[in-house]
Chains A and B, each alone.
Chain A
Amino acid sequence: MSHAEHVNGELPHEPEKATLEGRNKVLGFWLFLGGEAVLFGTLFATFLALRGQNNEGPTAAELFSLPITAAATLILLVSSLTSVFAIQALHRHNIEKLKLWLIVTVVLGLGFLGLEIYEFYEYVVHESFNMKTSAFSSAFYTLVGFHGAHVAFGVVWISLLIAQLYRKGLTVVTAPKVYVSAMYWHFIDVVWVFIFSVVYLLGKVG
């Protein structure tokens, strides 16, 4: 019997929780996400403490554009929904739909990244707002850039999982990986909720 198959040769309901390894993977990933919350907490703490220190450089209110932030927010929120659809397809053992929704999620992630790169490029080139401009700029690029790096990592990770789904199909080994990557993607969206509220909208308020 292959380790990838259930006792009766059928993929079980909720294949991500069918093996001890799968369940431990999910539990361990939650511990990791708790640690990630602490990591982002420290970056938010630094940003909130230093966000007024613009050192005669651009201030948050001068810099930020609500339409771009709104577009990025919408893209990431929709991608969170598409990864929910991916997991629902996983629970229905519908591998074609699973792959399709994961691809849509990755494409939306790339869209978000493109928007963020455009935004940073505008700031650096046209607004002379770079990493060394002020305590505000350093804290801003560290926090938002770290989130962007998480999105980039997620895009690479989920792309590799899609490739693995094409090669190995949906098994009790691949299912927990997909499930955990969806958790990661939701967490990134959760962090972005705080970023658009605390960094961008609060920056506009003053």
Chain B
Amino acid sequence: MTANQQSNEGPTVKHRHRVEGPEKHIVVFIFSIVLTAIAFAAVAAGGINTAFTIILLLVMAVLQVFVQMGYWMHLKDKGHLMPILFMIGGFFVASTCIVMALFWVWW
């Protein structure tokens, strides 16, 4: 991992670090608000095809989670291969449980 080398550098090495600004996080926030608003509006409006609404809700939720985990939890940053594998593993087992439970109870 890249962070490994950083701490081993001698005290004389001075480098300027670029500190990220809040802009992209505010963009993620607005994006999340918009996705949430679409999901709520689709349900509040009613009258839309049920199957379509369910798919819309799931797509909005997954998109929002992807963006938040990427930017707010830094999964898109360098050196996050293991965390990504942990989360994929977790979501894989979780979705297997969900499919299994639905199959078990409803078929």
Contact = CB atoms under 8 A, between A and B. Distances in A.
Interface of A: 7-8, 12-14, 17-19, 23, 27, 30-31, 33-38, 40-42, 44-46, 48-50, 66, 69-70, 73-74, 77-78, 80-81, 84-85, 88, 91-92, 183, 186-187, 189-190, 193-194, 196-198, 201-202, 204-206
Interface in B4-57: 4, 6-7, 10-11, 17, 19-20, 22, 25-26, 29, 32-33, 36, 39-40, 42-44, 50, 53-54, 57
Contacts, number: 142
Given A80-B72, A193-B61, 4 more contacts: A38-B97, A45-B100, A194-B65, A196-B36
A77 B83 contact: no
Contacts of A36: 90
Most chain B beta carbons < 10 A, residue from A48, A196, A205: A205
B61 to A, nearest CB: 4
Given A37-B94, A48-B101, A81 B73 contact: no
A197 B17 contact: no
Contact of A202 (B33, B57, B83): B57
A49 B105 CA distance: 6
Interface residues of B, number: 53
A63 to B, nearest CB: 14
Given A37-B94, A41-B95, A92-B19, A197 B61 contact: yes
A205 B54 contact: yes
Given A14-B3, A85-B22, A45 B102 contact: yes
B54 A202 contact: yes
A196 B33 CA distance: 13
Contacts of B73: 183, 186-187
A40 B94 contact: yes
B86 A41 contact: no
A204 B40 CA distance: 10
Contact of B86 (A34, A50, A84, A206): A34
Most chain B beta carbons < 10 A, residue from A18, A19, A31, A197: A197
Interface string B48-92: 001001100110110011001100110000000011001101110
12 contacts: A12-B7, A17-B3, A17-B7, A49-B106, A66-B43, A77-B36, A84-B25, A84-B72, A88-B22, A91-B19, A193-B36, A205-B50
Contact of B29 (A33, A81, A183): A81
B49 to A, nearest CB: 10
Contact of B40 (A46, A187, A201): A201
A189 B82 CA distance: 22
Q: Sort A-B residue pairs by CB-CB distance and give the 3 closest, nearest first.
A: A41-B94, A37-B90, A34-B90
Most chain A beta carbons < 10 A, residue from B3, B17, B53, B106: B3
